[in-house]
Structure 1
Amino acid sequence: MRSTLLAAVFAMLGCTMLVAGTTLIAKALGSGALGQQVHPLMISQSRFLWGFIAVALFLGLRRATGRQPWRQSADTPRPHYRRHLIRTMLGYTGGGLMFAASAHLPLADANALSFTSPVATMAFAILVLGERVGPWRWAAACIAMAGAAILLRPGAGVIQPAALLALGAAVCMGIENIFIKRLATSEPFGRTMLINNAMGMGISAVIATPVLTWPESPQVWAALVGIGVVMVSAQILLLTANRLADVSFVAPFFYITLVWAAFYDIAVFGLWPDAVSITGACIVVAGGLLMTWREVRAGRRTLPGATGNALR
């Protein structure tokens, strides 16, 4: 049992490292650090294109070796394509906004703002699903949004537009999480990943057509391929962690993404988090952990925002 939990921890550490890594790659591409400034729409298109190829190869390999943990049984319902499409559009929009924000914000700030997505999930569940929300979850939401308000830095005279992009990404990912939960209860995860990335590839190819440019160096090529492969790898590690341990045990580890993001900022860009970033991030995390704790106490296995960020 202890070795299984340890394996889940290492899977989550790998997942968070890769999730933060996608924002690092997006920042390098969007800021021109690799010698060519790549449009966020092209970054999103590459994320889905190479993500689809990675998923198809992974599932094909599993099938060839006879190992099909997500095999579709005879009673598995047909794909709910409308639900898949809405989820994909939300993920595409959220990912694009996040990649755009990452090019202009410290990675720790961008990732911290994305962790307000459970608040959007909660609000959407109230308005659309009619869920009842108790005082603890309202308190957690208020705490998380207070941290986001600090990260928006209104005292600087004007709110950073890039911070608003990250907050918009959080809203999209929070609503997307509702659809992820619904799909997770009715469809095999492998099929969901394949459909999501296939739809995203088609949608992003059409939208990104006006801004597509030919990569000018091997470094840019590698980064464009890498952002899709890294994201899919993070998804697989998240699934592995959730299979090895309860979601209630796994979910809090996702906040380690902030540590990796700060490390990447320091190591790659020489950006140290200031007092405002640290304070805001800590408050957002406190709100998220409080919401997680309350969901565990309420006996809910699927936690709001536990997977949404990793599946964008």
Structure 2
Amino acid sequence: MIPPAPNTALAALLTLAASSLVAGTTLLAKAVGTGALGPALHPLQVSQGRFLFAFLAFATAAAVLRPRLHRPAWGTHTLRVVFGWGGVSFMFAAAAFIPLADATAISFLNPVVALLLAALILREKVGPVRLSAAALALAGAMILLRPTPEAFRPEALLALGAALMLGCETIVIKRLSGREPAFQILLVNNVIGVVLASLAAAFVWQAPTPAQWAALAGIGGLMALAQTCFITAIARADASFVAPFWYATLVFAALYDLALFGVIPDAVSAAGAVIIVAGAALLAWREARLRPSAASRSGTAPKP
């Protein structure tokens, strides 16, 4: 299989789109897990809903498009699902014990984990600019979410587990993205995921209300779109380049608060958002300067 041509600008835009969708799933998951739409559902059941409806979306697409599938690397796919399912479940569990802002702040260490693992495992070049951009974005996340000392209670280790799991998942996705078609990765991921999540949720399952069914369907649908954007993005740029753009999820969450609930960010929130965007912009600017230089040395024009 011929890998897609590198395109860091497209990868950045797709990652931003994915982060906006993930922010939407977080809002719905909070509503389902806190009793806003009926009796609160267990985090494992919310995770099952996420995989079930995402699987239905990709299975429907497969029935219509009839894509040509290659032999999947089942072991690698299973490892990716374990990391992804574990990360989401840890995140939902952490939100039940500590403030959501604190849990999110800790779990958003996962792009830093992915960046470091990309250097250690994938041997990607992570220079001072990329490290600085990741550090800058992380600083903005900490300012925006205002983590309190309570975040360091023992329960906060659940959120730390989410960060580690999701960071590892990013690396596994990168390994798959150059070997199998993007759609196959998404389809197989959700086939395995719905089986694993259903087995775990069987012990805590309860009948959702109609509103909760709708929210679970929304979580799965939005996550399916987010996965599509992310898989396409990471196939076109290094994992260490894509990782810092995930911090935009925090910015989108603030925008949703403003649009849906009229919550106006204060000066501290605005400062955090600006710093996050600055970190991503620094990374994009550096990549844009490096690619033409490399192309001029090789005597070819940069690919779109």
Q: Cα offset for 1:232?
A: 0.9
Which residue of structure 1 aligns with residue 227 of structure 2?
235
Which residue of structure 2 aligns with residue 279 of structure 1?
271
Which residue of structure 2 aligns with residue 181 of structure 1?
174
- % identical aligned pairs: 48
Letter in 2 for 1:105: L
Is 1:204 equivalent to 2:197 in the alignment? Answer: yes
Q: Cα offset for 1:19?
A: 2.2
Unaligned runs of 5+ in 1: 1-6, 301-312
Change over 3 Å in CA distance of 1:289–1:178 after alignment to 2: farther
Q: Cα offset for 1:267?
A: 4.5
Q: Cα offset for 1:129?
A: 3.9
CA distance in 2, matches of 1:298, 1:170: 30
CA distance in 2, matches of 1:227, 1:130: 34
Q: Is the 8 A contact 2:136 2:275 kept in 1?
A: yes
TM-score by length of 1: 0.72
Which residue of structure 2 aligns with residue 91 of structure 1?
84
Letter in 1 for 2:223: M
Task: List aligned pairs for 1:1-312, cutoff 5 A.
Answer: 15-63=18-66, 68=67, 71-72=68-69, 76=70, 78-100=71-93, 104-105=99-100, 116-150=109-143, 153=146, 156-159=148-151, 166=159, 168-215=161-208, 217-237=209-229, 257-268=249-260, 271-299=263-291
Letter in 2 for 1:235: Q
Change over 3 Å in CA distance of 1:50–1:119 after alignment to 2: same
Q: Is the 8 A contact 1:34 1:220 kept in 2?
A: yes
Q: Cα offset for 1:270?
A: 5.5
Q: Is the 8 A contact 1:15 1:235 kept in 2?
A: yes
CA distance in 2, matches of 1:14, 1:120: 21
Change over 3 Å in CA distance of 1:121–1:187 after alignment to 2: same
What's the CA shift string for 1:186-232, capped at 9, x where partnerless?
101121111101111111112222221111x2101111222112211
Change over 3 Å in CA distance of 1:260–1:101 after alignment to 2: farther
Letter in 1 for 2:37: L
Q: Is the 8 A contact 1:98 1:165 kept in 2?
A: yes
Change over 3 Å in CA distance of 1:164–1:277 after alignment to 2: farther
Q: Is the 8 A contact 1:16 1:260 kept in 2?
A: yes
Q: Cα offset for 1:125?
A: 2.5
Answer with 263-272 or 7-16: which moved more.
Answer: 7-16
Q: Is the 8 A contact 2:182 2:232 kept in 1?
A: no
- Pairs aligned (count): 277
TM-score by length of 2: 0.73
CA distance in 1, matches of 2:20, 2:133: 25
Q: Is the 8 A contact 2:11 2:234 kept in 1?
A: yes
Unaligned runs of 5+ in 2: 1-9, 293-304
CA distance in 1, matches of 2:115, 2:16: 26
Change over 3 Å in CA distance of 1:14–1:127 after alignment to 2: closer
CA distance in 2, matches of 1:193, 1:150: 34
Q: Is the 8 A contact 2:16 2:245 kept in 1?
A: yes
Which residue of structure 2 aligns with residue 307 of structure 1?
none
Answer with 49-58 or 166-175: which moved more.
Answer: 166-175
Letter in 1 for 2:206: T
Q: Is the 8 A contact 1:150 1:280 kept in 2?
A: yes
Change over 3 Å in CA distance of 1:282–1:9 after alignment to 2: closer
What's the CA shift string for 1:33-81, capped at 9, x where partnerless?
1122111111101111111111111111112xxxx4xx34xxx5x3111
Answer with 160-169 or 197-206: which moved more.
Answer: 160-169
CA distance in 1, matches of 2:221, 2:55: 9
CA distance in 2, matches of 1:222, 1:278: 33
